[in-house]
């Protein structure tokens, strides 16, 4: 009986250690990559003239210091807005959007799944190239960039398989792409790896 109690106690301690180590593995420094699609809507009647949908990607790294909180930084390429077919007066139009983000990450874990919400700032860059050779309104060429600091936020879910995390998320970036263009939204699927 005493031997059985000793074995049961040892098994209990071992299971607690395994449980603790697998739970602790969720915390630490991680890096990852996400790919997805970005959508920029239009607040004016230019919707038929421009294509606001493009592929996007981001590189990220972070530190999950607590079960419920962490910090994440990322570089995100939000693709480009281009003209759709022939636009009267324009021979070329391309609006590229990208930036660096810093987020506070708030987690709620359910078994092997984390639900998360994040908020932070984005140091963004919008690069516009456009030209016209037609008589109206007049021939022109534009090649300029605009930098700004903007608010960004997101929500998502992440499944954990040891050090590997697979996440699906939605992000909104409050950057100003110009008159008539709304702020871009991104839906992405990605993976992270926790190192230590």
Residue 42 DSSP symbol: B
Is residue 40 packed enough to be buried (19+ CB in 10 Å), middle (13-18) or exposed (0-12)?
A: buried
pLDDT at 88: 65
For the question of whether the overall pTM of this predicted structure is more than 0.85, the answer is: no
pLDDT at 163: 93
pLDDT at 104: 98
The residues facing 70 across adjacent strands are: 105
pLDDT at 24: 42
pLDDT in tens, the chain (196 residues): 444 344 444 444 334 333 433 444 478 999 999 999 999 887 765 656 778 899 999 999 999 999 999 999 999 999 998 877 666 666 778 889 999 999 999 999 998 999 999 999 999 998 888 777 766 556 667 778 889 999 999 999 999 999 999 999 999 999 876 667 788 999 999 999 999 8
How many angstroms separate the CA atoms of 136 and 15, rounded? 76
Question: Does residue 184 contact residue 47 with C-beta atoms inside 8 Å?
Answer: no
pLDDT at 191: 98
Contacts of 21 (CB under 8 A, 6+ apart): none
Is residue 177 packed enough to be buried (19+ CB in 10 Å), middle (13-18) or exposed (0-12)?
A: buried
List b or e across 150-159, with b for residues whose CB sees 16 or more CB atoms inside 10 angstroms: eebbbebebe
Residue 4 belongs to what H/E stretch? helix 2-24
List b or e across 108-121, with b for residues whose CB sees 16 or more CB atoms inside 10 angstroms: eeeeeebebebebe
pLDDT at 11: 42
pLDDT at 77: 96
pLDDT at 90: 67
pLDDT at 85: 67
Q: What structural domains and CATH numbers belong to the chain?
A: 28-194 (2.40.160.20)
pLDDT at 61: 98
């Amino acid at each position: 009986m005493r031997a059985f109690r000793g074995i049961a106690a040892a098994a209990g301690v071992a299971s607690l250690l395994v449980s603790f180590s697998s739970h602790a593995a969720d915390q630490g420094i991680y890096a990852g990559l996400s790919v997805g699609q970005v959508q920029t809507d239009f607040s004016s009647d230019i919707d038929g003239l421009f294509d606001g949908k493009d592929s996007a990607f981001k590189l990220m790294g972070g530190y999950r210091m607590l079960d419920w909180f962490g910090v994440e930084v990322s570089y995100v390429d939000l693709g480009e807005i281009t003209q759709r077919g022939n636009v009267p007066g324009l021979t070329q139009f391309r609006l590229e959007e990208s930036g660096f983000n810093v987020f506070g990450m708030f987690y709620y874990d359910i078994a092997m799944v984390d639900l998360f919400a994040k908020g932070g700032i984005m140091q963004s860059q919008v690069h516009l190239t456009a030209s016209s050779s037609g008589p109206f309104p007049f021939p022109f060429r534009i090649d300029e960039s605009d930098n700004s600091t903007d608010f960004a936020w997101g929500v998502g879910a992440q499944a954990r398989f040891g050090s590997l995390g697979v996440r699906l998320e939605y992000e909104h970036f409050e950057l100003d792409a110009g008159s008539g263009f709304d702020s871009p939204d991104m839906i992405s699927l990605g993976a992270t790896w926790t190192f230590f």
